[in-house]
Amino acid sequence: MRQVNHILPLLVAALLLCGCSAEKFLGPDQRLLTSVKLSSDEPTVTASAYQQYLRQKPNSKWFNLLKVPLGIYCLSSPADTARERPTLWQRIGEAPVIYSSQQTANTQNAIALALKDKGYLNASVTTTVTTPPNSHHTKIHYALHPGQPYTISSITYAADDRAIDSLINLSIADTYLYKGMLCDLSLLDRERSRITTMLRNHGYYREHKNNIHYEIDTLAGPTNVVLHLHHSSPEDNNTYTIGEVTYSGQELPLRRKLLESKTYVHPGQLYREQDVNRTYLALANLQAVNHVAIRMQETAPDTLNCDISILPEKTNSLGVELEGTNTAGNLGVAATLSYTNRNLLRGSEQWSTKLKGAYEAITGLEGYTNQNYVEIGLETRLTFPRLIIPFWSSKVRKFESSEVNYQSSILNPTTALSLQFDTQERPEFHRRVLTALWAYQWSSGNGRMRHRFDIPSLNYVYMPWISSTFRRDYLETDNYRSALIRYAYENLLILNTTYTQTTDNRQRTTVNPRQRRINPWQLQWSVESAGNLLYSLARPMGFHKKSDGQYSLFNVAFAQYLKFDIDYSKHFLLNARNTLAIHGAFGIAHPYGNSTIVPFEKRYFGGGANGVRGWSVRELGPGNYTGEDGRVDYINQTGNLKLLTSIELRSDLVWKLSGAVFADVGNIWTTRRYHITGMGGQFRFKKFWKQLAASYGIGLRFNLDYFILRFDMAMKAVNPAYPTSSKDYLPIIHPKFSRDFTFHFAVGLPF
């Protein structure tokens, strides 16, 4: 209860701040704007979509409930407003919004104009301003009257220039206009931009959308519009051909062949704007390049020279990272020394090497001779700015430089080769891990879709020594005779292939940014397959078969499984200070063939800062399983099926501080029944919903520009570790702070 006593004063203080009067800052004839409401008498017109045209809005609220920023401002005095430098409370708070009749009139006109732009040519807006008697508070109500919308009954296109007229008519399949649509001026303007871009991609360097205008005839009927698009060509609107392509800047450490492979503007070709944009992106994404500028210069009639100015990036960098560690009360230190060369072979190849060392003093561990933990790791990685595919590289380079559509082409391709060796020595065991990776990455769809293809990925785990005490207490006893724990401490070979695709709407553009607020979203899915190639070769090549039926390579069993994950998140921008974020994730890994259990490194765990936050890491699941005496069972509290949903209301508070109110629901399960976790840990359709864990809480986040520090405080709401008949199953009704509270510190947002 001591923590509650600290939180309650903060809540009381917030409520008191909201209650502070802002009337002391008002003049004799001034009123505080407290409410703005929009409504529409046409069901098909959403009034809230026109909030962006409000010239005055009431003071902001934390979580859309409390006007704390105004309360903070009110801690200052009216005399402070005359100071040259604002006080602290005024800087971090928010000044009261004073009602303005002029801004109200401007808002009314702006909304009416926006409705007309949408095709409601007879739209009107009425405004009602309400001030209660003997009050300094004012409310505004904007009533939208769209009226009958005007629709386009026919569309025609024409151009003065015969060649341009032909190009426009050939591109009609990509038009934004169609019969029966509203006479929406934003879409009409978007069509002008589309045609302009299309012509600039066909050599018309001087093309501008002002060359395109509309003739709109409203006499075709009561609400019908006849639309005619006309293109007028100025005298100098000719097609241009690329002349010379030159590279300038400081001493360029890059090979000419590389620069040419990343340049899509070539002498003798027609000027195309998409080639210029693609060249800029390709060169700017090179690790050895700091800045790129492309300048087109007319040197002869209908000829453009292209000068590409490149500022190189610093080639070498050295970094050192130090951190303190605390694992279950055992203190230690870790250090990482890293070196990066961004232009190893003068082709913008990035080579990085990391050397990591860690030491931890382990105390209170009985029955073991060595009481320390030592880890040494070495990782080296080489990244090429192109796709390197044996026997296909020439075809790939030809495709990358071909004149394919920009939206469907390969963007920012890279090939990465990495090798990592890690050695860990603990009192219980010694472990060696060797990891090798060959990975491709590229983007498509104008950068909105990102791809990663790991082929192959090799993970070899070798256990040269396991102490007799650990083997006796955990691997050879009836209490822990579990395939999971034995599998985690055996030599293992994983040869897998993984494909991951990430799609979002970050690259989405609109002609008029005021037209619509974009709610960002991201969808990521991946599929991973392991062991199939080795299993297909096992019998023909005579691999050794162990007593349990597993094939082994070099006397090491290899894993075989199929894994699928999908993750989706979306943010709804409620207003300038508040955002509603939702997240959902599902994953399943199925062992087969040469495996009966998914490798420990590939399994899911419940709880943690990015899971159901009412539980610590690995404290939740699988299903309703709990460790012996309620302790975390690090090995067995894992699963091969995951389900998680979360929702957060995020609000900007003051300065770089923001807050969140959240709720999480989810758990992990096993798809097979194991000795330790039993039936309670196995996923079953009829009972899994009773095993869903839920938690709720609040969080604080500090945005330090380069990263975000996150502090989340959560309480359990539904605890599947208890029977549904027990009152402890619903701690949201019967809370116990010492049992149900969990604190998380993390870097970055959870989704």
> CA–CA separation, 622 vs 640, rounded Å?
9
Residue 515 pLDDT level (bands cut at 50, 70, 90): very low
Is the pLDDT confidence value at 2 over 60? no
pLDDT of residue 489: 78
Among the ranges given (6-10, 38-42, 58-62, 697-701), the one the predictor scored with the smallest mean pLDDT: 6-10
Query: What are the backbone dihedrals phi and psi of residue 165, each rounded to the nearest 5 degrees, phi first?
Result: -60, -40
312: enclosing H helix or E strand: strand 303-312
Q: Which residue has the tokens 């695709």?
A: 501
List C-alpha distances in Å: 743 to 519, 616, 691, 715.
Answer: 30, 8, 23, 9
**SS3 of residue 58 by DSSP:** coil
CB 414 within 8 A of CB 383: yes
- As a CATH number, domain 151-231 is 3.10.20.310
Q: Where in the chain are the domains?
A: 2-145, 151-231, 241-312
b/e for 19-47, b at 16 or more Cβ within 10 A? ebebeebbeeeebbbbebebebebeebeb
What average pLDDT does this structure show over 511-537? 80
Residue of 702, 616, 696 lying closest to 659 (CA atoms): 702
pLDDT of residue 328: 57
pLDDT of residue 509: 36
> CA–CA separation, 176 vs 190, rounded Å?
7
pLDDT digits (tens, 9 = 90+) for 81-137: 777 788 888 888 888 999 999 999 999 999 999 999 999 999 999 999 999 888 889
CB 635 within 8 A of CB 650: no
CB 286 within 8 A of CB 315: no
> CA–CA separation, 201 vs 646, rounded Å?
44
pLDDT digits (tens, 9 = 90+) for 288-310: 999 999 999 998 889 999 999 99
Neighbours of 747 (CB within 10 A): 10
pLDDT of residue 512: 36
Residue 630 pLDDT level (bands cut at 50, 70, 90): low
Query: What are the backbone dihedrals phi and psi of residue 746, each rounded to the nearest 5 degrees, phi first?
Result: -150, 165
Is the pLDDT confidence value at 477 over 60? yes
Q: How much of the chain exceeds pLDDT 90, in percent? A: 60
Residue 222 pLDDT level (bands cut at 50, 70, 90): confident
241-312 fold: Ubiquitin-like (UB roll) (3.10.20)
Angle in degrees, CA 621, 625, 629, rounded to 5 = 115
Instruction: Tell me the CB-side half-sphere exposure of residue 684, using CA atoms within 13 A.
Output: 10
As assigned by CATH, the class of the 2-145 domain is alpha beta
List C-alpha distances in Å: 619 to 615, 695, 697.
Answer: 6, 13, 17
Do 2-145 and 241-312 come out as alike in CATH topology? yes
Those residues whose C-beta lies under 8 Å from the C-beta of residue 368, and which sit 6 or more positions away, are 427, 428, 467, 469, 470
CB 373 within 8 A of CB 427: yes
Of the segments 66-70, 490-494, 639-643, which one has the largest average pLDDT value? 639-643
Instruction: Report, in this order, helix, strand and coil percent for the chain, each rounded to 5.
Output: 20, 40, 40
CB 12 within 8 A of CB 19: no
622 preceded by cis ω (within 30°)? yes
pLDDT digits (tens, 9 = 90+) for 541-564: 989 888 778 899 888 999 999 999
